[in-house]
Amino acid sequence: MEISERLKKLPTQFFSALVKKVNNAVAEARDIINLGQGNPDQPTPPHIVKALQTAAEDPKTHKYSPFSGLIELKHAASEYYKKQYGVDIDPEKEVAILFGTKTGLVELPMCLLNEGDLMLLPDPGYPDYLSGVVLAGAQFKTFPLLAENRFLPDYNAISLEDKEAAKLMYLNYPNNPTGATADLKFFEETVTFAKKHRISVVHDFAYGAIGFDGKKPTSLLEAEGAKDIGIEMYTLSKTYNMAGWRVGFAVGNQNIIESINLIQDHLYCSLFPAIQLAAAAALTGDQSCVEELVSLYENRRNTFINAIRQIGWNAQAPKGSFFAWLPVPKGFTSEEFADYLLEKADVAVAPGNGFGQYGEGYIRVGLLVDESRLLEAVDRIRKLNLF
């Protein structure tokens, strides 16, 4: 039997190919410093683990969850947005529980687009956005994120034809892979743009808690009228080191939220209730663990950026996320340079071209090892005399 044509059209999983290269090197007993991953290296805070243990011991959590998820988690998401961003969210109508936001991002085009409809995607951008395009049978166009525009889209540069045809657009700030952030003015411009051209907006807010230099990342929903045109997806994976727990939520436009709940009614019977209750405890509990985590990432950022500048590798420090976006030396493509570092320095990084056409000329570094390993990686690269 053959798989469907739709599955055949799915893009090659970029990160699985990267993992394979790293695993092959590790299998050769090489000491690989893996800076190519996006997997948080710190454990989930103990009070959240304890909340899961307590909830899992209650037989009530062993039954099916309501299809659209527990109201306790929806109220927690609403409370979190009010406290963190000053945004009012109706827990009954404006929250959808997700199996991690990757699932939400992939399934959403199937909720809002018909065969052949157009969506707009950032370039460079998270590769799995393309999975949703293929599964929905949709079309896509990209808009470039350029250093000269602080890695923000220039809406004026998008063709009128694409503006009028597009029905859905994805944004992501703090940005993966560039580490750029967006301010309230940009999101206000986005709302105006989306209303004018009747485009639904999804803001992937995966790194929403991770901002540096005393600046907290801005939520799309802080912009007036944002709920009229879109939603925001928030994951607990990065904020609370809960990547393996697979829990997140979408908040915002009531009609879009309803469409997510509808498709998930047919795909799932929601998350294990104990995980939902633990997620609620994370959102409503003491947030000092988040402050400590952001401080850890900021210290790593400072250590790493200072070290690479000392060897002559000039790059902008990321303003958010736990990624650094670094220019490739002359004479290399992104993939050639990533392969060179793995082969000659036993340092793994993600080549920028895996994130799109405008990722060429860069590599992405994950600040997800301790400072001593970051410094060792830079020292190994220094010995290659590339800068």
CATH number of the domain that residue 279 is part of = 3.40.640.10
Reported as a single tens digit per residue, the pLDDT across 322-340 is 999 999 999 999 999 999 9
pLDDT of residue 90 exceeding 90, the answer is yes
Same domain, 176 and 303: no
With contact defined as beta carbons under 8 Å apart, do 283 and 143 qualify? no
Taking the mean position of all CA atoms in its chain, how far away is CA 336? 25
Alpha-carbon Rg of the chain, whole angstroms? 21
Instruction: Choose the final residue of a domain: 284, 310, 342.
Output: 284
Same domain, 257 and 124: yes
With contact defined as beta carbons under 8 Å apart, do 212 and 301 qualify? yes
Domain range holding 298?
A: 5-44+288-382
Same domain, 108 and 257: yes
Residue partners of 355: CB distance under 8 A and separation at least 6: 14, 123, 124, 125, 126, 127, 177, 364
Q: What is the pLDDT of residue 22?
A: 87
Q: What is the pLDDT of residue 15?
A: 75
CA dist 373 and 371 (Å) reads 5
Same domain, 127 and 181: yes
Same domain, 211 and 298: no
With contact defined as beta carbons under 8 Å apart, do 145 and 360 qualify? no
Same domain, 246 and 324: no
Q: What is the pLDDT of residue 18?
A: 82
Helix-helix angle 100-112:254-267, to 10 degrees: 110
Reported as a single tens digit per residue, the pLDDT across 159-218 is 999 999 999 999 999 999 999 999 999 999 999 999 999 999 999 999 999 999 999 999
Same domain, 313 and 356: yes
Same domain, 319 and 268: no
Helix-helix angle 100-112:129-136, to 10 degrees: 30
Q: Is there a domain that residue 252 lies in?
A: yes
Instruction: Choose the final residue of a domain: 251, 284, 317.
Output: 284
Same domain, 127 and 260: yes
pLDDT of residue 37 exceeding 90, the answer is no
Same domain, 214 and 269: yes
Q: Is there a domain that residue 314 lies in?
A: yes
Reported as a single tens digit per residue, the pLDDT across 275-298 is 999 999 999 999 999 999 999 999
Q: What is the pLDDT of residue 269?
A: 86
Q: What is the pLDDT of residue 328?
A: 97
Q: What is the pLDDT of residue 26?
A: 87
CATH number at 320 reads: 3.90.1150.10
CA dist 216 and 358 (Å) reads 27
Mean pLDDT, the chain, rounded, equals 96
Q: Is there a domain that residue 49 lies in?
A: no
Q: What is the pLDDT of residue 25?
A: 87
Percent of the chain with pLDDT over 90: 91
CA dist 4 and 285 (Å) reads 45
- Per-residue pLDDT band for 12 (boundaries 50, 70, 90) equals confident
Cis peptide before 318 (omega within 30 of 0): no
DSSP 39-97: ---SPPPHHHHHHHHHHHTSGGGGSPPPTT--HHHHHHHHHHHHHHH-----TTTSEEE
With contact defined as beta carbons under 8 Å apart, do 315 and 308 qualify? yes
pLDDT of residue 127 exceeding 80, the answer is yes
Q: Is there a domain that residue 376 lies in?
A: yes
Q: Is there a domain that residue 52 lies in?
A: no
Q: Is there a domain that residue 51 lies in?
A: no
- Per-residue pLDDT band for 352 (boundaries 50, 70, 90) equals very high
Count of structural domains, the chain: 2
Instruction: Choose the final residue of a domain: 260, 284, 308.
Output: 284
- Per-residue pLDDT band for 378 (boundaries 50, 70, 90) equals very high
Same domain, 211 and 353: no
Q: What is the pLDDT of residue 19?
A: 84
- Per-residue pLDDT band for 11 (boundaries 50, 70, 90) equals confident
Q: Is there a domain that residue 241 lies in?
A: yes
Same domain, 299 and 273: no
Kindly report the pTM of this predicted structure: 0.95
Q: Is there a domain that residue 387 lies in?
A: no
Instruction: List, in sequence order, every residue forming a beta bridge with 170; answer none if it has no partner.
Output: 202
